[in-house]
Chains A and B, each alone.
Chain A
Amino acid sequence: MEIELTEREFMYPGHVGCPGCGAAIAMRFVLKALGEKMMMVMPACCWSVIAGPYPTSTLKIPVIHSAFETGGATASGVRAALDMKGDTETTVVTWAGDGGTFDIGFQALSGAVERNEDFIYVCYDNEAYMNTGIQRSSSTPYGAWTTTTPGKDWKKMRKKNIVEALVAHRIPYAATASISHPEDLIRKVQKAKSIKGSRFLHIFASCPTGWKIPSEMAVKIARMAVQTNIFPLYEVEDGLHYTINLKPKRFPVREYFKIQGRFQHLTDQDLEVIQKMVDEDWALLLRKAGEHA
């Protein structure tokens, strides 16, 4: 794979992420892309634990763990303090899961973005409250089993579209990325770094434990999500200009669902409904990008 990536690592081994943890891969890429002049705000999420217990930390950069809801707000404070100290080089990054972004952290995120705070908000999305034991979030996709949507109560609400919600704020830069497409992810992180104001990255970070797939499939499943248009890769600048980065061959969604334990209960009819939803969303995205199906 042809990527220009520093050889330096900004995290240590010995962290307690599950084997095959997509969030760990995502963190590693983002750290490499941003370098050492960064500070990380980390509201409650899997990484609050992955980073290791006192007195250790997996991360070589300055980190402040914060309460669940506060990703956007704590970063605003860090940024204000750095500005008062005259530091114009350090990038402030919030590193949050889907729970702390889509749900309990949404207010603070929306507030920070509305104020156009100068920071990068990275949401690594494993599509449920994984840290507390696989409970549903508004990022959990339609059709999924979780411990709070078990059996016949599987999630019948669509996944919230966080990027579109922030695009409505006219955020300077918002983009989706996946651990399966590292060059695209790193390019976007570096592009975000060069922009001032609020920037949002939505990273698809698969979770073998929560999705009930073998650990070695973590990257492949993320790639399949992109290839089936379930998780399209695109960027939006200034809340107006859409760029779709990849137009895959549109593999049918069926295989993506069949491989994952969390979707085992879905019938062929359910999958047809889902295929329609995915096709609809893709067509909508194309229209926004000024393109046609």
Chain B
Amino acid sequence: MKQVLEGSQAVAEAVRLARVQVISAYPITPQTHIVEFLSDYCATGKMNAKFLRVESEHSCMAALIGAQSTGVRTFTATSGQGLALMHELLHWASGARLPIVMAEVNRALAPGWNIWVDQTDSLAQRDTGWIQFYCEDSQEVIDTTLQAYKLAESVALPVMVVLDAFFLSHTYEPVDLPEQEEADRFLPPYEARFELDTKNPCTFGPLVPPAVYMEMRHDMAAAMDTALTNFARIEDEFEQIFGRRYGAVEAIACDDAEIVFVTSGTVTSTARLVLENLRARGEKLGILKIKLFRPFPFEFIRKALKGAKKVAVIDRNFSFGASGIFAQEVRAALCNAEVHAPVFGYIAGIGGRDVTPEVLEEIYWKTKNNAVPERESVWIGLQEVRHGN
């Protein structure tokens, strides 16, 4: 059914459609609308779920680990500081092979309180064993959240659905909201592989010596690899019911592109506009949107960038002491390819700074006019700021 929904509500609706049973959340801007909608659904009976109003994000993830281990489908949402606080337990959720799904609203990290979009928070968690999807618009958010449960449960790993602060979370867009019956056809009730059960007692998370820990981690690694192929199959099923698919990556006009932008999140939407514009002026630009970040779709990326002469990665994040994170990952993907183009890394939109078409154009020309990258990362739009001393 077509509706105009705020991005946050789109998340909440998807959670409702997924028939989540236990929700736990701690409020943090700009995630708050998500949890407020869900609170309301639980209170009015629109959703049959328990809502745990825990006292911190760390407790939030702990509660979900407890609930999921007891055999129910769970959900939470957080952002920025909250995600950072959860860090220890993100590792725990994946190591415990729990298919928890979380909506993560990309927000800048303090100090300097900054509630606006920045990808550093979610990318800083890229090692935690969570599958990560970066969404471009509200429709994608709804679809990806539903798919996330199916994918998570298929490989027994948790999934993070990432959306930009305010640009996605607080923007109203028309979306096609699935009916409950359709969602049920796509996503069956949760059947836990293992759970806390008095009839069949076991102990989760005991001491694990070196002799077997490595094997457990390897099993997780293998599951991550499988997630990649499972995702394609899940998208097949989704497309059959709903008529939509996204792909782990989306290559736009890459076949004959000389320069390919690598983007993620809402920047992709802006990039599409700039693509149209530049192509109309005869520039051979392509866009590679990365949706699935973990597991990193090495093959898809290598394939999409095979023909490019230059690659320009736009990172709305930074790994201090290194470079933008998408750039690092793309460089790593291309390193062992037979031939690959130089990768230009650009840092833009940090801490909510707007990534306008002009910013993307600047990036295009910088890329075109330099044979090789002048340095690992080029920060776009830096200003001289003087306030007091």
- Give me the interface of A with B, judged by CB distance under 8 Å: 36-39, 41, 48-49, 51-57, 59-67, 69-70, 72-78, 80-85, 90, 107-108, 110-111, 114-115
Contacts and interface: CB of A to CB of B under 8 A. Distances in A.
A77 B197 contact: no
Contacts of B65: 64, 66, 70, 74, 77
B207 A107 contact: no
Interface of B: 21-22, 24, 48-50, 52-56, 58-60, 62-72, 74, 88-89, 92, 196-198, 201-209, 212
A77 B63 contact: yes
Nearest to B216: A54
Contact of B59 (A41, A62, A108): A108
A54 B206 contact: yes
Contacts of B70: 39, 77-78, 81-82, 85
30 contacts: A36-B198, A37-B198, A48-B206, A49-B207, A51-B203, A53-B208, A54-B207, A57-B202, A57-B203, A59-B203, A62-B201, A63-B196, A64-B69, A65-B203, A67-B92, A70-B58, A70-B59, A73-B62, A77-B52, A77-B69, A78-B70, A80-B22, A80-B72, A81-B66, A81-B68, A81-B72, A81-B74, A111-B54, A111-B56, A114-B55
Nearest to B70: A81
Nearest to A114: B55
Given A74-B62, A75-B66, A62 B198 contact: yes
Given A77-B64, A81-B71, 5 more contacts: A54-B208, A65-B203, A73-B62, A78-B69, A80-B52
Contacts of A57: 202-203, 206
A52 to B, nearest CB: 7
7 closest A-B pairs by beta carbon, nearest first, are: A77-B66, A111-B55, A77-B63, A73-B59, A65-B205, A81-B70, A70-B62
Given A38-B198, A57-B202, A108-B62, A84 B207 contact: no
A64 B66 contact: yes
B204 A64 contact: yes
Given A62-B197, A67-B88, A81-B21, A73 B54 contact: yes
A76 B52 contact: yes
Nearest to B92: A67
B59 A52 contact: no
Contacts of B69: 64, 77-78, 81
Contact of A66 (B49, B66, B67, B208): B66
Contacts of B203: 51, 57, 59, 62-65
A111 B59 contact: yes
Nearest to A48: B207
Nearest to B60: A73
B22 A84 contact: yes
Nearest to A43: B62
A83 B50 contact: yes
Given A65-B206, A111-B56, A90 B198 contact: yes
A57 B252 CA distance: 54
A39 B198 CA distance: 7
Given A74-B65, A77-B63, A80-B63, A52 B206 contact: yes
A80 B198 CA distance: 16
A60 B199 CA distance: 11
Contacts of B202: 57, 62-63
A54 to B, nearest CB: 5
In this complex, the member of A52, A69, A70, A114 whose beta carbon has the largest number of chain B beta carbons within 10 angstroms is: A70
B41 to A, nearest CB: 15
B66 A51 contact: no
Nearest to A108: B59
